[in-house]
Chain A
Amino acid sequence: MKSQPALKLLLGTYIFVFLAYLFGPLIIMSITAFNSAEFPAVTPWECFSWRWFTEGKVTYDGQRLAGLLADTKLHDGILTSLRIALGVVVLSVPIGMAAAIVLTQVNSKIRTFFYSVAIMPVLFPGVVIGISTVVLWDRIASMTGGGAMADIGRNGVFLTILAQTCFISTYCFLIFVARLQRFDKTQEEAALDLGASQTQVFFKILMPYLMPAIASSAVIAFLYSFENYNTTVFSILSDQTLTTVIASKVRLGISPAISALALVIIAITLTAAISYEVLKRRAERRLAKIKQTQLHQAMPSDRLMKNQKTSFRLPKSMFLILLVCFGVVAGGNYLVSNNLYGQQCIVAADEAKKSNFADQLKLLQQNVETEATTTPQSGPATGSQGFNNIFGDPNLFKNFGGFDSDAKK
């Protein structure tokens, strides 16, 4: 592979295009969040503003587009989503853990069957899970005929928690299975031999060993639940979660407030990803250092001690950061020098639009008036003239063949 530079170049270009395809739309969407125009766009750039993050805007024709801070529906949706996600974590982590532990205890025949059943929910379409939960609980609610059971059976939050738990438990289950594969069973046996009860073994040996899996499955469950739409849209009934709020907003008409929301989510994701990566690298480096010192202690020879005082090197990521800084500065400079920032610009743009709108309205009214006055008299005349014009156009039948050739003869 190394001997083919052309292929390598091709591959490099391909990877670049691929990443551009992944990130391009997100970057453009993030930029539109700062455009004060009410349609999310980049090119007819109105003004730089934070309005979609704060109070939003009332357009010249009276339509109200709420920004993030002013959107109470969105806030309610986020709260409901959080409640559901917590419920799902509380249910699905213990379920996944129990299923994974039992999987290690049953014999191989039952194991295959059990495993197949346990992973089935992931292979079901999300909408099917949502629908089946709703129809079942509606039946239960109507059978009990009112009372507490009926309330529960028609409670969207409760149904959504159940429906999501159905398939999110599988993800948790898979995480626990992966962790348990590396578990050393002799630890359990040793504890039992030393007189621990089974319950003690579970809480003192197995649980601490599974702690990383518990943490990561809780995070995964939370994220899956929070961003689920396909199942939720059926099972939530009359309530609203974050995703259903977004979907209904998008269907009603797209507003830059959604771009702003997306940007907030992107920022949170990026921060989490970068800090995770940095922490991981730091831990790795520390581990390497410990190994190095151990080696040195075992064999105290200077040759093995790596030279600690390396010269100062600029990390590669520095270039990326510099590039981003440069982009931000250049963009900001452009905005300031063209007067595209601040309250003044926004007011001016709104005024322009309002007067434009008023002009159009006036023009429309004028048209109606002139039409009303002129059509009765000159109606037929203009009509015949129109016909004359159409047939009088010499180019009209040029490609048609018939008339033209006749005329030539």
Chain B
Amino acid sequence: MKNFFAKNGPIISTYFLIAIGFWIIFLIIIPQLYMLDLSFRPNLPPLLRGGEEDVYTLTHYKHFLFGSETSKDAYNYVDLKVFFTTLATAVVITVLSLCFCYPIAFYIAKIAEHKTARLLIVSLIVPFWINELLRAFALRILFAGEGVINNALINAGLMDNAINFIGQDVALFTGLTYAYLLLMMFPLYNSLESLDTNQLEAAKDLGSSTIRTHWRVVIPHAKAGIASGSTMVFMLTAGALATPVVLSSPNTFWFTQLIYQWFNMNDNWSRGAAYSVLLLLVSVIFVLLMMKLFRVKVGEIVK
């Protein structure tokens, strides 16, 4: 500590300490801890807070698992279904994004010439600077009942009645893939770019097929990028709110929408907090899983 002050001088040291302390303690740690605390408390009107009824309880987590006490089902099928559908969809979208991005990232990093590569990168970035809501809206125009795709298909005489893309969640899944594709592309590209092209040539000279080269040389080299991209895509998809708000059908809920509902419409903050804690827990578990699976450090996932 003394060393720290001696190194930076009193003014700068104070600035560092205040800035970092404010960030880590007030913005990162305390809010999360307080949310965790709130999730174990009953939903009380403000006047009763701190009173006799304000004790630690598991009601909200119980509600998530078993439903309200008045319902007859053994488990809270509605919420559980939303939860697991969200997670499963997020996993599927992550894998799809990886498959879509891999050829392009490889092309930009290893095959394309410098100029083409840069042009491609710029043209990949541009759509992603546009707000997520507006991109979802663009897909909504395409997929709506009287939308562009339905109109085009009907006019072409391929079908008679409009397909309900939004009701069937086609729109939602396309939109979510569309929204976070770039977050897979760039980590992948970065890790592939550092691959020595000589290795590819060596593999080829030694008689390895293209697929085998990718499987044994390129993918192991890119594992940090794959881990990083997968984590980002999964987290953002599972925690997405903007795209589901625009594109989900009235009878499908995304888990974040459920949280939103408890929080803003039903005014049950502590239950909303409990559900947020669950989402946070899933995120943490997923990151740890990726770290274990790909044997990378946290620092390699977020760059």
Give the residues in chain A near B141, CB-CB below 8 Å.
25, 28-29, 32, 40-41, 254, 259
Closest to A44 in B: B151
Would you call A136 an interface residue if the criterion is a C-beta within 8 Å of the partner chain's C-beta atoms? yes
Nearest 5 interchain pairs by C-beta: A125-B239, A198-B9, A132-B31, A25-B138, A98-B19
Would you call A160 an interface residue if the criterion is a C-beta within 8 Å of the partner chain's C-beta atoms? no
Would you call A169 an interface residue if the criterion is a C-beta within 8 Å of the partner chain's C-beta atoms? yes
Using A95-B20, A166-B23, A251-B245 as known contacts, list a sample of 15 further A-B pairs with CB atoms less than 8 Å apart, ordered by residue number in A. A25-B178, A40-B141, A102-B20, A116-B298, A122-B302, A125-B279, A128-B280, A198-B7, A198-B9, A202-B9, A247-B133, A259-B141, A262-B130, A269-B129, A269-B130
**Contact status of A131 and B9, CB under 8 A, knowing A25-B135, A229-B242:** no
**Contact status of A230 and B256, CB under 8 A, knowing A128-B35, A131-B276, A136-B35:** yes
Shortest A310–chain B CB gap in Å is 17
Closest to A254 in B: B140
Say whether A25 contacts B139, CB under 8 Å: yes
Q: Which of B90-109 contact A (CB under 8 A)?
A: 100, 103-104, 107
Mask of A152-190 contacts with B, CB within 8 angstroms, 1/0: 000000000010011001100010000000000000000
**Contact status of A265 and B131, CB under 8 A, knowing A28-B142, A41-B151, A136-B34:** yes
**Contact status of A198 and B8, CB under 8 A, knowing A43-B155, A131-B263:** yes
Interface stretch of the complex, out of B58-66, B76-84, B117-125, B215-223: B117-125
Would you call B212 an interface residue if the criterion is a C-beta within 8 Å of the partner chain's C-beta atoms? no
Say whether B152 contacts A43, CB under 8 Å: yes
Mask of B204-230 contacts with A, CB within 8 angstroms, 1/0: 000000100000000000000000000
Interface majority SS on B: helix, strand, loop or mixed?
helix
Interface stretch of the complex, out of A10-18, A294-302, A325-333, A342-350: A10-18
Give the residues in chain A near B127, CB-CB below 8 Å.
22-23, 26
Closest to A102 in B: B16
- B16, B124, B148, B299: the one within 8 Å of A115 (CB): B299
Give the residues in chain A near B287, CB-CB below 8 Å.
123
Say whether A250 contacts B34, CB under 8 Å: no
A165 to B151, CA, bound (A): 44
Say whether A127 contacts B299, CB under 8 Å: no
Give the residues in chain B near A132, CB-CB below 8 Å.
31-32, 34-35, 273, 276
Q: Which of A48-95 contact B (CB under 8 A)?
A: 94-95
Say whether B27 contacts A165, CB under 8 Å: yes
Closest to B280 in A: A128
Say whether B283 contacts A123, CB under 8 Å: yes
Would you call B111 an interface residue if the criterion is a C-beta within 8 Å of the partner chain's C-beta atoms? yes
Would you call B157 an interface residue if the criterion is a C-beta within 8 Å of the partner chain's C-beta atoms? no
Would you call A19 an interface residue if the criterion is a C-beta within 8 Å of the partner chain's C-beta atoms? yes
A232 to B197, CA, bound (A): 45
Interface majority SS on A: helix, strand, loop or mixed?
helix
Would you call A258 an interface residue if the criterion is a C-beta within 8 Å of the partner chain's C-beta atoms? yes
23 pairs, CB–CB < 8 Å, chain A vs chain B:
A1-B111, A15-B120, A25-B178, A29-B138, A43-B151, A95-B23, A102-B16, A127-B259, A128-B35, A133-B31, A135-B38, A135-B273, A136-B30, A162-B26, A166-B27, A169-B23, A229-B131, A233-B241, A250-B136, A254-B140, A262-B131, A262-B138, A266-B130
Would you call A270 an interface residue if the criterion is a C-beta within 8 Å of the partner chain's C-beta atoms? yes
Shortest A196–chain B CB gap in Å is 10
Shortest A315–chain B CB gap in Å is 12
- A18, A32, A128, A265: the one within 8 Å of B279 (CB): A128
- A99, A121, A142: the one within 8 Å of B46 (CB): A142
Closest to A206 in B: B12
Shortest A213–chain B CB gap in Å is 15
Would you call A117 an interface residue if the criterion is a C-beta within 8 Å of the partner chain's C-beta atoms? yes
A122 to B287, CA, bound (A): 12
Say whether B9 contacts A199, CB under 8 Å: yes
Mask of A221-246 contacts with B, CB within 8 angstroms, 1/0: 00100010110011000000001001
Q: Which of A1-42 contact B (CB under 8 A)?
A: 1, 7, 11, 14-15, 18-19, 21-23, 25-26, 28-29, 32, 39-42
Would you call B172 an interface residue if the criterion is a C-beta within 8 Å of the partner chain's C-beta atoms? no
Shortest A225–chain B CB gap in Å is 12
Say whether A19 contacts B34, CB under 8 Å: no
- A102, A202, A234: the one within 8 Å of B263 (CB): A234
Give the residues in chain B near A1, CB-CB below 8 Å.
110-111
**Contact status of A135 and B137, CB under 8 A, knowing A15-B104, A124-B280, A142-B46:** no
Give the residues in chain B near A25, CB-CB below 8 Å.
135, 138-139, 141-142, 178
Would you call A119 an interface residue if the criterion is a C-beta within 8 Å of the partner chain's C-beta atoms? yes
Would you call B144 an interface residue if the criterion is a C-beta within 8 Å of the partner chain's C-beta atoms? yes
Give the residues in chain A near B210, CB-CB below 8 Å.
7
A251 to B299, CA, bound (A): 39
Give the residues in chain A near B22, CB-CB below 8 Å.
95
- B30, B49, B137: the one within 8 Å of A258 (CB): B137
A28 to B260, CA, bound (A): 31
Say whether B16 contacts A101, CB under 8 Å: yes
- A99, A125, A139: the one within 8 Å of B19 (CB): A99
Mask of B34-75 contacts with A, CB within 8 angstroms, 1/0: 110010000000100100000000000000000000000000
A21 to B142, CA, bound (A): 12
Give the residues in chain A near B28, CB-CB below 8 Å.
117, 120-121, 166
A236 to B119, CA, bound (A): 38
Would you call A359 an interface residue if the criterion is a C-beta within 8 Å of the partner chain's C-beta atoms? no
Shortest A10–chain B CB gap in Å is 9
Say whether B140 contacts A250, CB under 8 Å: yes
Say whether A127 contacts B256, CB under 8 Å: yes
Say whether A199 contacts B135, CB under 8 Å: no
Give the residues in chain B near A43, CB-CB below 8 Å.
148, 151-152, 155
Say whether A41 contacts B147, CB under 8 Å: yes
